[in-house]
Amino acid sequence: MSKTDAQKCAILIPAYKPEGHFAELVRELVTRGGDVYVVDDGSGEAFANRFGEAKRLGAVVLRHDVNQGKGRAIKTGISAIAAHGDKYIGIVTADADGQHCADDIEKIGAAIASNPRGLVIGVRAFDRDVPLRNFMGNTLTRLVYALSSRIVCSDTQTGLRGFPRALWQPLLEIEGERYEYEMNMLIRVRELGSYLAEVPIQTIYIDNNSASHFDKVNDSAKIYGDIIRLSAHKLISFCVDFFVFSMMLSLSFPAYGAYAIARIFSLLPYLAAYMFAKKKSAKLSSFLFPTGFADWVLILITGGGVLEVISLLLGITGWWLKLIIDGLLFLTLLKRRKKLRTE
């Protein structure tokens, strides 16, 4: 690894029953001068030689006696690396199954240096040579994540990520022990006072991704279950918004007034979720306005204004019209945020 800020990042590889690609990756990273930390997540004696080889190559090997899951392995690695104090500016996590190459790992390390508060993620292109189950799974998860968080993420399932030092302790406090942990950190990104910084990386699938230990049923259930659980207040807010709007219309309120009152009442589920949260990792204002107060005001003025104009000119209104207007505003804001991140 070249003498750059990227070298100041530790490289963390959580591994469970790794294949031959694992040793090759460790060897190349160490040869480039990288500080590699490997977590053996209870792989058993049958794989002891592979971890022994990683240690001989120069990696620091940490062990779980039994399999505890990828999320716990990442937390174990973060804790061990954090014990070195200011030695590293960040941590780059990479998978042990050969999906991530040394060049891309260095790119993530370099991105950490320019994003000291950002959650850096390596994003793949899903346009060719991608196993169907991976393509479908990532597409569905990206859609669900965007709808629940109002954040555009080009690759929600990537294991190549960068954590600047400022995020280490908050990441240790995020719930999740297995694959759902990686999704939970995306869900909580704004509460961490952070943002997603995307870095394009190569799309590599070896032998149709047969080395993956992802359980399509159990792990998917945990991931989507946590998305629903952690985003429940957002769904309730959506329902409150439309219920109050319809009620105000039935009481003969003007369209703009009904829209504004409904938007204000829709903040109550966010306020309740914040008040009852065991750990408050964000300020109340950031929690109430996850996309920013400016965006909230923009939607209030634009959405209410368009609704009022249509009501006055065409004499039509209703919850269905509000749904269309809000949907178009939502898609417009998502597109704008994605454009801003790529500029």
Q: For residue 1, what pLDDT band results from cuts at 50, 70 and 90?
A: very low
Burial class (CB in 10 A: 0-12, 13-18, 19+), 191: buried
CB 237 within 8 A of CB 288: no
pLDDT at 243: 92
Task: Reply yes or no on whether the pLDDT at 54 is more than 70.
Answer: yes
Q: Which residue has the higher pLDDT, 200 or 127?
A: 200
- Is 101 in a helix, a strand, or coil? coil
Cα 16 to Cα 182: distance, rounded to the nearest angstrom: 16
Structure tokens given for 39: 């977590």
For 290-336, write each residue's pLDDT tens digit.
666 777 888 889 999 999 999 888 888 888 898 899 888 877 876 66
The predicted-structure confidence for 187-246, as pLDDT tens digits, reads as follows 888 888 888 999 999 877 655 554 555 556 666 676 666 666 666 777 888 889 999 999
Find tokens 């965007």 and name the residue. 146
Look up residue 254 and give its amino acid: P
The three-state secondary structure class of 26 is helix
**Taking a C-beta distance cutoff of 8 angstroms, is the pair 138, 156 a contact?**
yes
Closest CA to 118 of 144, 89, 79: 89
Residue 71 — pLDDT band, cuts 50, 70, 90? very high
What average pLDDT score do residues 176-182 get? 88
The residue-averaged pLDDT of 247-258 equals 91
Other residues' Cβ atoms within 10 Å of the Cβ of residue 31: 12
Mean pLDDT (whole number) for 255-262: 92
- Cα separation, 74 vs 85, in Å, equals 18
What are the sequence ranges of the domains in the chain? 5-230, 232-342
Q: Which two tokens stand for residue 167?
A: 């995020």
H or E element: which one contains 145? helix 132-149
Architecture field, domain 5-230: Alpha-Beta Complex (3.90)
